[in-house]
Amino acid sequence: MRICIYSGGERLVAKSGVGQAIRHQREVLRRAGVETTDRWSSDTWAVHINTVLPDILPAVLWARLTGRKVVCYGHSTMEDFRRSFRGSDALAPLFRRWITFCYGLGDVVLTPTEYSRSLLESYGLRRPVYAISNGVDTDFFAPAPGLREAFRRRRGLRDGEKAVVSVGHLIARKGLPEFADLARRMPDVRFIWYGWTDPRLVPAEIRQVLDTAPENLEFPGYVGREELREAYCGADAFAFLSHEETEGIVVLEALACGIPTVLRDIPVYNGWLEDGKNVYKSADQEGFRRTLEGILSGSLPDLTAAGRAVAEERSLEAVGRQLREIYRRENILPLPAPAHAQA
Query: What would the pLDDT profile of 146-185 be if each residue is shown by its tens digit?
Result: 999 999 999 999 999 999 999 999 999 999 999 999 999 9
pLDDT at 266: 98
Taking phi first (over 0 means left), then psi (-120 to 50 degrees means alpha), and beta for anything else, what does residue 276 get? left
- Please check the confidence at residue 338 and state whether its pLDDT lies above 80: no
Vertex 117 angle, CA 111 and 119, to 5°? 125
Query: Is the pLDDT higher at 142 or at 18?
Result: 142
Fold match between domain 2-135+315-342 and domain 147-313: yes
From 62-71, 142-151, 233-242, 327-336, the region with the lowest mean pLDDT: 327-336
pLDDT at 38: 86
pLDDT at 8: 82
147-313 folds as Rossmann fold (3.40.50)
pLDDT at 343: 41
Pairwise CA distance, residues 291 & 282, whole Å: 8
DSSP classification of residue 136: B
- Average of pLDDT values for 1-29? 85
Yes or no: say if 261 and 240 are a contact pair by the CB < 8 Å rule.
yes
pLDDT at 335: 59
From 15-19, 112-116, 174-178, the region with the lowest mean pLDDT: 15-19
Query: Is the pLDDT higher at 236 or at 39?
Result: 236
The ranges assigned to domains in the chain are 2-135+315-342, 147-313
pLDDT at 288: 98
Most confident segment among 26-40, 73-87, 192-206, 295-309: 295-309
- Please check the confidence at residue 96 and state whether its pLDDT lies above 90: yes
Three-state SS at 128: coil
- Average of pLDDT values for 5-14? 82
- How is the beta sheet containing 44-49 ordered, strand by strand? 35-37, 2-5, 44-49, 69-73, 108-111, 129-131
pLDDT at 243: 97
pLDDT tier at 87, thresholds 50, 70, 90: confident
DSSP string, 293-333: HHHHHT-SPP-HHHHHHHHHHTBHHHHHHHHHHHHHHTTSS
**Closest to 163 measured CA to CA, from 295, 28, 73:** 295
Pairwise CA distance, residues 283 & 43, whole Å: 50
Query: Is the pLDDT higher at 335 or at 72?
Result: 72
- Average of pLDDT values for 122-145? 96
- Please check the confidence at residue 15 and state whether its pLDDT lies above 90: no
Yes or no: say if 168 and 195 are a contact pair by the CB < 8 Å rule.
yes
Query: Is the pLDDT higher at 233 or at 336?
Result: 233
- Please check the confidence at residue 339 and state whether its pLDDT lies above 60: no
Residues in the chain: 343
Alpha helices in the chain (DSSP H): 17-31, 56-65, 78-81, 88-103, 114-122, 147-155, 176-185, 204-211, 225-234, 249-257, 285-297, 304-313, 316-329, 339-342
Contacts of 145 (CB under 8 A, 6+ apart): 233
- What mean pLDDT, rounded, does the chain reach? 93
For domain 2-135+315-342, give the CATH number: 3.40.50.2000
**315 strand-pairing partners:** 136
